[in-house]
Chains A and B, each alone.
Chain A
Amino acid sequence: MSSAAVAAKPILAVEHVAVHFGGLIAISDMNFDVREGELVSLIGPNGAGKTTAFNVITGFLKPTKGRVTFRGESLNGLKPHEVTSLGLVRTFQRTSVFEKISVFENVLIGLHRRTKASLLGTILALPSERRAEAALREEVWEILRLVGIDHQADEMGGSLPYGDQRLLGVALALAANPSALLLDEPVSGMNASETGRFIDLLNKLRANGKTILLVEHDMPMVMGISDRIVVLNYGRIIANGTPSQIQNDPDVIQAYLGQGVKHA
């Protein structure tokens, strides 16, 4: 699968991006791309700048330098909802569901980008609006079934078990019909069987042709599922390659395990 992905052209490109918070350099010079249909993981120790990178790509933060392009279009200066409407959708580390809203309606909100309701039509309750609404509801069921939480449609988002909340977060992002999906630590805090279910879901999404950028700490999962891995440390990229290349990269080993102790 990786050979096909390598041949495809880049869909998302991060070009010389730097982010400074006052004197703190969160990202110094980041340069990588993600190709169509590829699954790329962004890894690195805590505080390496992974989530900052996500925030820059999706418009929640403005880069100090550099730019991000999606399908050749610059994302600089776009607001988060405008980035979403280009087909680049993210999930969050924590707040990823509407807690006081049912699972079904969570996904219904997620479908926002695909509703074309007119205000006048809504106020007059035109039949076309009702049909569109019924079609949306049908789509919600499809997404819930794909993610595997359709039996919990009437539960409140916040009352789901943790793993299912993460799945709902992905369902919400999927509802926006992204061509590229950015997942921020989707399996953190999940147990082994929940992680297994999540990997199955990711494979299903890849089969549907979704491009995925993943930030994750679960190394067995990252090594098993990624086409390519980008390693960040102290705000800069220290390695970029296939899982086997990364596992043997001396810089990566040093970043994760520290300097080798000679007399050991």
Chain B
Amino acid sequence: MKRFLPYLAVAFFASVPLWLQDQYFLHTLVVTGIFIIAAMSLNLLLGYTGQLSLGHVAFFGIGAYVSALTSLGFSLSIFGVQITHEPWPAVVGVILGTIIAGLCGYLIGKLAFRVRGAYFVIVTISFAEVVRLVSLNWVELTNGPLALPGIPPLTLGFEWTGFATLWGKGQNYYVVLATIVLAYVLIKRIVNSPYGRAMIALRENETLATSVGVSVTKYLVLAAVISGAMAGTAGGLYAHYIQIIDPMVFMFLNTVTMVIMVITGGKGTLAGPLVGGLIFGIAPVILRDYVGPEVQWILYGLLMILIVFVLPEGIVPAVERWFTRKTGNSAAKRSALVLESSKGARS
């Protein structure tokens, strides 16, 4: 049953645009999906290495701006040197945004992981704030608070298949869904490999991990690079879907949203950010019909406090435990590593 759950979930979500009439709700799902990708990337850092990045939106925003500027083109002069960039296809923009966000992850990782814990949190917050100020004040490049409008939507296809420009919500929905599946498989393979084990070992007991030969900086920086790049992809998708971005993407609230998604869903679990993301992505839309925005924020906060108090590990581990108790499965004890049963290898 549990093995087929991911496939069932994908099949269900793939069918949604076929029967869902409400276009606004479909739009909500697309945006929620994009945030879920960002939350999944945050989970790799926060959940598996135990390092909290409170500036995660910086990677998201960098991906968005790089992707937007690549596909829009720009012209600016630095120290009298005129640089002009002709527009490139949107897909190239998303790829470049991913790479540059990954590079930023590398720099931040190298810089911040010399000192971990609280210092890493401070460095990431500062980084996000610096990037926000740059996007706000480098008007020649980013248009500042006037925003970058008219970002072209993604165009997919090859010479031999013909090209499709994704104007519609349904099309974008499938691109986001495919990216989520890709990100899920990527993270799953990494955390189940020696790489993921090294990250979890560092989270659980850093001293012991180094004594068995795990290099702290190597694995934390690796996690930061993958995490940053993945958040950059999400940002790129966001830019080409919304088609306009301004420095508001760097809002601290966006980081908080990602953290809430990860923590309520269950940090350090593969499905956690998906569950938490769906709840906190859709809840505002459902609540909107019944209560005003102010009450909504209060309910939002109450919901989070409730979840954190009642299920401190998050929803996914709690449901898992409930499920194993219900089915009488003896593997009720949950290891911090997410591996297939060790019994398979017993000789």
B193/A154 in contact, CB under 8 A: no
What is the interface residue range for chain A against chain B? 35 or more
Closest residue to A100 on the B side, CB-wise?
A: B336
Q: Is B342 an interface position by the 8 A CB rule?
A: yes
Closest residue to B188 on the A side, CB-wise?
A: A125
Q: Is A113 an interface position by the 8 A CB rule?
A: yes
A79/B215 in contact, CB under 8 A: yes
Q: Is A255 an interface position by the 8 A CB rule?
A: no
Q: Is B327 an interface position by the 8 A CB rule?
A: no
A67: min CB distance to chain B, Å: 20
What is the interface residue range for chain B against chain A? 35 or more
Docked CA distance A264–B347 (Å): 64
Indicate whether A112 sits within 8 Å of B197 (C-beta atoms), given known contacts A104-B342, A176-B212.
yes
Docked CA distance A60–B216 (Å): 13
Q: Is A251 an interface position by the 8 A CB rule?
A: no
Q: Which of B190-217 contact A (CB under 8 A)?
A: 190, 193-195, 197-198, 200-201, 204-205, 207-216
B198/A112 in contact, CB under 8 A: yes
Write out the residue numbers on chain A whose beta carbons fall within 8 Å of the beta carbon of B197. 105, 108-109, 112
Docked CA distance A27–B333 (Å): 45
Docked CA distance A90–B211 (Å): 7
Write out the residue numbers on chain A whose beta carbons fall within 8 Å of the beta carbon of B347. 138, 141
* Contacting residue for B212 out of A95, A109, A133, CB 8 A: A109
Closest residue to B339 on the A side, CB-wise?
A: A105
B345/A138 in contact, CB under 8 A: yes
* Contacting residue for B189 out of A122, A154, A155, CB 8 A: A122
B345/A141 in contact, CB under 8 A: yes
Docked CA distance A189–B184 (Å): 45
Write out the residue numbers on chain A whose beta carbons fall within 8 Å of the beta carbon of B211. 58, 80-81, 84, 89-92, 173
Docked CA distance A101–B202 (Å): 12
Q: What's the dominant secondary structure at chain B's contact region?
A: helix
Q: Is A137 an interface position by the 8 A CB rule?
A: yes
Q: Is B186 an interface position by the 8 A CB rule?
A: yes
Write out the residue numbers on chain B whose beta carbons fall within 8 Å of the beta carbon of A58. 211
Q: Is B346 an interface position by the 8 A CB rule?
A: yes
Docked CA distance A129–B192 (Å): 12
A170: min CB distance to chain B, Å: 12
A122/B342 in contact, CB under 8 A: no
Closest residue to B337 on the A side, CB-wise?
A: A105
Q: Is A2 an interface position by the 8 A CB rule?
A: no
Indicate whether A81 sits within 8 Å of B214 (C-beta atoms), given known contacts A101-B337, A109-B198, A123-B190.
yes
* Contacting residue for A113 out of B212, B216, B345, CB 8 A: B212
The number of A-B residue pairs with CB atoms under 8 Å apart is 122
B204/A81 in contact, CB under 8 A: no
Docked CA distance A141–B200 (Å): 21
B189/A92 in contact, CB under 8 A: no
A156/B342 in contact, CB under 8 A: no
Q: What per-residue 1/0 map shows which CB atoms of A155-198 lie under 8 Å from chain B? A: 11001000000000000110110000000000000000000000
Closest residue to B335 on the A side, CB-wise?
A: A102
Indicate whether A101 sits within 8 Å of B200 (C-beta atoms), given known contacts A112-B194, A156-B335.
yes
Docked CA distance A90–B347 (Å): 29
Write out the residue numbers on chain B whose beta carbons fall within 8 Å of the beta carbon of A8. none
* Contacting residue for A99 out of B204, B214, B342, CB 8 A: B204
A151: min CB distance to chain B, Å: 11
Docked CA distance A92–B205 (Å): 12
A109/B209 in contact, CB under 8 A: yes
Among A102, A113, A156, residue most surrounded by chain B Cβ atoms (within 10 Å)? A102
Q: Which of A109-144 contact B (CB under 8 A)?
A: 109-110, 112-113, 115, 117, 119, 122-123, 125, 129, 133-134, 136-138, 140-141
A87: min CB distance to chain B, Å: 10
* Contacting residue for B335 out of A85, A105, A117, A176, CB 8 A: A105
* Contacting residue for B194 out of A95, A115, A153, A173, CB 8 A: A115
Write out the residue numbers on chain B whose beta carbons fall within 8 Å of the beta carbon of A60. 207
A92/B195 in contact, CB under 8 A: no
B208/A172 in contact, CB under 8 A: yes
Docked CA distance A159–B126 (Å): 41
Docked CA distance A84–B189 (Å): 26
Q: Is A98 an interface position by the 8 A CB rule?
A: yes
B346/A141 in contact, CB under 8 A: yes
Q: List 28 A-B contacts (CB under 8 A).
A: A81-B210, A84-B211, A89-B212, A92-B207, A95-B207, A96-B208, A97-B208, A98-B205, A99-B204, A105-B342, A108-B197, A109-B200, A110-B212, A112-B198, A113-B212, A113-B213, A115-B194, A119-B195, A119-B222, A122-B195, A123-B189, A129-B193, A133-B193, A133-B194, A136-B194, A137-B344, A138-B347, A172-B208
Task: Name the 5 nearest CB pairs between A and B, nearest first.
Answer: A137-B345, A113-B213, A84-B213, A115-B194, A104-B342
Taking A105-B335, A119-B195 as known contacts, 9 extra A-B pairs with beta carbons closer than 8 A to each other, sorted by chain A number, are: A89-B211, A96-B208, A99-B205, A100-B204, A101-B204, A117-B195, A122-B189, A137-B344, A176-B213
